Structure 1
Amino acid sequence: MSIAKAISNAMSGLGATARGTETVASNLANAMTPGYARRDMVVVGSALGGGVRVDGITRIVNASLLSESRLASAAMGEASTQAAFHETMEAVVGLPGGAVALSTALTEFQTALSSAATRPDDEIRLAQVVSAADRLATRLNDAATAVEAARSTAQQAIAADVAVMNQSLGRVAQLNTRISILDADGKDATPLMDERQRLIDRIATIVPLQEIARDAGRVALFTTEGAMLLDGSVPARLDFAGADQVVAGQVVGAPLELLSLNGTALTAGQMRLFGGGSLAANFQIRDSLAPQLQFGLDHLAFDLHQRLADPLVDPSLGATDAGLFTDAGLRAEAANLVGLAGRITLNATVDPAQGGQSWRLRAGLQAASPDPVGQSAVLMALAEAVEGARPGQPGSGFSGSAGLASRVGLVESQVASRRIEALSDLAVRSSRHATITAGMMAEGVDSDAEMQRLLQYEQSYAANARVLIAVDDMINQILRM
């Protein structure tokens, strides 16, 4: 081997060693960086018969595990969104015995009625009935308001998710183009691939994705149900419109909207194309889960109203008069049931704070005078009406005859059961996500392995350096001849 060839070979080895050391340093520095994939240097022998050549830097990615990780992220995003909703609703409706529970407010109202019936002449006890009745109405109002707020939050979250998807898809399309250009020029595009992976991972929490490799380092993106999001340089465009606030009674089409894909509105059946992530969970909250709870609260409010608006309970009432509880001051009607829980109020005629007189609880809401002060028939009838078993409103979901306390307890138990089921589902999905994430970490940067490679590069560097030292000694010997 000539001296020139030896120098060339050693220099190529030193260059490859330096590049390999940089790769190890990058791996160690970014071991915990989201989206970062381990690098490996590809070295080939020189085509001229000596030395080595760096043929590029390869990203080491387990495609199947990455795909599973994204599906797990979408599933956990859906479960966590629903679990948060159910926890909020349980906190508002409450659990039996809880300080803010509907059942607690109802029990306080029943206790106040029973106490006043034993001393109908006691103004303090009548005032306690008024206060307890007002708290019960307020608790129903608060629960209904929380349901509307949850629907509004879901509406806003949908809009935010759509904005993130559009922005991220646009950026992925740009990165596809830049990566293909660098690939054609033979330049390192791995940092852009890392950024692209982070963006795709971000989208994957919103909707489950499938990533398909294309030529020149590009990728195509589809939802797992088949909607095309990106295949080429132009991403799909998602649109979502609607007011930020959602109120009781609003449904899809009147006036709530679904998604539009590339300018075409999706039907309810086509929405399954985007099922499985936080986006689908927010649509479920807005259009199904929250209205389901609103339905139960409205029927509870109507049951409460009807029990105490019966002329058999309060003979002073006419067929069109509101009872102790009103629909915003009027008699509640089955035809206008939606949103009643948010509108139900204490009848102003018995509330001194609204110019009413508490003695009407004793004498009757439409009574002409408070006498005699010892009459307790109306108070006893009110207490019995609340406690007694009555058939539920047709279509209410309350089967058979039951007291109001039983129906309130049923709604509370349903809310608690849904919360438990949602948290159980979240625990399962979180466990799966954690397992896959651990697998991803194991497939990623192994610091021990990287240190071993670093030692190998150190040995390679020393070997090539010794060649150069030997060549230098030979040249010096020749010059001294």
Structure 2
Amino acid sequence: MSIAKAISNAMSGLTATARGTETVASNLANVMTPGYARREMAVTAQLQGGGVRIDGITRIVNASLLSEQRLAASAVGDMSTQAAFHKRAEKVVGLPGEPHALTTALTDFQAALSAASTRPDDEIRLSQVVSTAGTLADRLNTASAEVQAMRGAAQQGIRSDVATVNAALERVAFLNVRIAVLDADGKDATPLMDERQQMIDRISAIVPVQEVAREAGKVALFTAEGAVLLDGSVPARLGFQGGDQVTADQVVGAPLERLTLNGTALSAGQMRLFGGGSLAANFAIRDEMAPRLQSELDDMAFDLQQRLADPAVDPTLSATGPGLFTDAGTRADPAARTGLAGRLALNAAVDPRQGGQLWRLRAGLQAPTDGPVGQGAVLSALVGAMEASRPAGAGTGFEGNATLAQRFGTVESRVSARRVEAEADLSIRSSRQSTISGSMMADGVDSDAEMQRLLQYEQSYAANARVLVAVDDMINQILRM
């Protein structure tokens, strides 16, 4: 071997060692960096000329494990959004014994009615009936407003998710182009690949995605159900139009909208293409979960209004007139029940603040004059109507016979059960995600293995350095001859 060839071999070895050391240092520095994939230097021996050639830096990724991690992230994004809604819904309805619970307001109202029925002449007790009845109506109004606020928040969440997905897809498309250019030039594109992985991970929490490798280091993206998000240089464009405020009577199509894909509105069936992440969860809250809760509140309000508007309870009432509770001053219409919980109000005829008279509670809402102060028949009938076990009304979500308190309790238990179920499901999905993430970490940078590789590079460096020292000694001896 000639001296020149020995120097060339040693220098190529030192160059490879330096590049390999940089790779190890990068791996160790980014061991906890999200989206970072372990690097390995690829080298081959040069048969002609000797030495080694650096073929490039290889990015080590377990594609199947990464895909599972993204699907798990989508599942967690979906259920965490739903669980947050159910937790808030439980606070809106309340639990038995809580001061703000609907059942607490109902219990207070029933207690005030019972107390007044035993002393109909006591205006303080009659005032308590009016006060607790107003509180019950206010609680139902507040609960209804909160439900619509949650629908509005879901609508804002949809808009935010759509904006995030569009921005991330644009970035992935740009990175695809840059990676292809660097690949063609033979330059290291792994930092851009890390960034691209982070962008795709961000999308996966909103919409489940599948990544498919394309030529020149590019990737194509599809939803788990097959919708094309990116396959080429131009990404798909999601669209959504919707205001911040949502009312109880608004439904999909009148005027709530679904997604658009590249300017084309999606049908109900096509929306399944984007199911599984936080985006689908927000649509489910806006269009299914919150309306179901609103319907239950409306059913409770309707039952309350109808029980106390019965002429058999208050003989002064007409068959169509309002009772102690009204729907904007009139009797509730079964066909226009949607949003009733938000409109329910105390009849002004008994509210002194609205020009009413307390004596109408004992004499009857439409009584022309006050009768004997000791008459308690109407108040007793109101108590009996509240405590009577009546069949569920047609078109309601209730079943069988029950008292009004049992109806309220049924809704409380349903809301609580949904919250418990959602949190249990979230716990299972989060555990699965943690397991997969742990596998990803184990398959990623191993600090012990990197230190072993660093020792190997140190030994390689020392060996090549000794070759150069030996060559230097030989040259010096030749020069001294």
Q: Shorter-chain-normalised TM-score: which range?
A: over 0.9
Q: Following TM superposition, where does structure 1 have runs of at least 4 consecutive aligned residues deviating by more than 4 angstroms?
A: none
How do residues 255-294 of structure 1 correspond to structure 2 at under 5 angstroms? 255-294=255-294
User: Are the counterparts in 1 of residues 363 and 378 from structure 2 also a CA contact under 8 Å?
Assistant: yes
How do residues 78-157 of structure 1 correspond to structure 2 at under 5 angstroms? 78-157=78-157
- Measured in 2, the distance between the counterparts of 1:352 and 1:479 equals 119
Cross-structure match for 1:453:
453
User: Are the counterparts in 1 of residues 71 and 209 from structure 2 also a CA contact under 8 Å?
Assistant: yes
Cα distance, 1:47 vs structure 2: 4.3
- Measured in 1, the distance between the counterparts of 2:207 and 2:421 equals 22
Cross-structure match for 1:186:
186
- Measured in 1, the distance between the counterparts of 2:99 and 2:426 equals 28
Cross-structure match for 1:404:
404
SS in 1 for 2:39: strand
TM-score of the superposed pair, with normalisation by structure 2: 0.98
How do residues 15-54 of structure 1 correspond to structure 2 at under 5 angstroms? 15-54=15-54
Q: Which amino acid aligns with 1:298?
A: D
Cα distance, 1:249 vs structure 2: 1.7
Q: Deviations over 1:275-295 (max 9, x none)?
A: 111111111111111111111
SS in 1 for 2:59: strand
User: Are the counterparts in 1 of residues 225 and 273 from structure 2 also a CA contact under 8 Å?
Assistant: yes
1:164 matches 2:164: yes
SS in 1 for 2:229: strand
- Measured in 1, the distance between the counterparts of 2:84 and 2:157 equals 13
Cross-structure match for 2:387:
387
Q: Which amino acid aligns with 1:122?
A: D
- How big is the alpha-carbon RMSD for the aligned residues of Structure 1 and Structure 2? 1.0
- Measured in 2, the distance between the counterparts of 1:150 and 1:364 equals 39
- Measured in 1, the distance between the counterparts of 2:448 and 2:364 equals 84
- Measured in 1, the distance between the counterparts of 2:371 and 2:249 equals 44
Is the deviation greater in 311-320 or in 56-65?
311-320
- Measured in 2, the distance between the counterparts of 1:206 and 1:393 equals 40
Q: Deviations over 1:311-369 (max 9, x none)?
A: 11111222332111111222211121100001101111211222222221111112223
Is the deviation greater in 312-321 or in 267-276?
312-321
How do residues 56-455 of structure 1 correspond to structure 2 at under 5 angstroms? 56-455=56-455
SS in 1 for 2:152: helix
Q: Which amino acid aligns with 1:404?
A: L
Q: Which amino acid aligns with 1:26?
A: S
User: Are the counterparts in 1 of residues 5 and 49 from structure 2 also a CA contact under 8 Å?
Assistant: no
Cα distance, 1:394 vs structure 2: 0.3
SS in 1 for 2:49: coil
Is the deviation greater in 471-480 or in 158-167?
471-480
- Measured in 2, the distance between the counterparts of 1:250 and 1:78 equals 23
Cross-structure match for 1:9:
9
Is the deviation greater in 193-202 or in 388-397?
388-397
Q: Which amino acid aligns with 2:334?
A: A
Cα distance, 1:161 vs structure 2: 0.7
Cα distance, 1:67 vs structure 2: 0.2
- Measured in 2, the distance between the counterparts of 1:441 and 1:271 equals 34
List alignment gaps of at least 5 residues for structure 1.
none
User: Are the counterparts in 1 of residues 93 and 101 from structure 2 also a CA contact under 8 Å?
Assistant: yes
Is the deviation greater in 386-395 or in 314-323?
314-323
Q: Which amino acid aligns with 1:438?
A: G
Q: Which amino acid aligns with 2:69?
A: S
- Measured in 2, the distance between the counterparts of 1:431 and 1:161 equals 24
Q: Deviations over 1:85-106 (max 9, x none)?
A: 0010011101122222111111
TM-score of the superposed pair, with normalisation by structure 1: 0.98
- Measured in 2, the distance between the counterparts of 1:279 and 1:348 equals 44
- Measured in 2, the distance between the counterparts of 1:357 and 1:447 equals 81
Q: Deviations over 1:361-383 (max 9, x none)?
A: 11111222333111111111111
- Measured in 1, the distance between the counterparts of 2:355 and 2:337 equals 28
SS in 2 for 1:58: strand
- Measured in 2, the distance between the counterparts of 1:452 and 1:399 equals 70
Q: Deviations over 1:31-53 (max 9, x none)?
A: 11111100000011124231111
- Measured in 1, the distance between the counterparts of 2:114 and 2:47 equals 100
User: Are the counterparts in 1 of residues 223 and 273 from structure 2 also a CA contact under 8 Å?
Assistant: yes
SS in 2 for 1:41: strand
- Measured in 1, the distance between the counterparts of 2:142 and 2:477 equals 96
Q: Which amino acid aligns with 1:330?
A: T
Cα distance, 1:139 vs structure 2: 1.2
Q: Deviations over 1:124-145 (max 9, x none)?
A: 1111111111111111111111
- Measured in 1, the distance between the counterparts of 2:370 and 2:38 equals 86
Cα distance, 1:196 vs structure 2: 0.4
User: Are the counterparts in 1 of residues 105 and 135 from structure 2 also a CA contact under 8 Å?
Assistant: yes
List alignment gaps of at least 5 residues for structure 2.
none
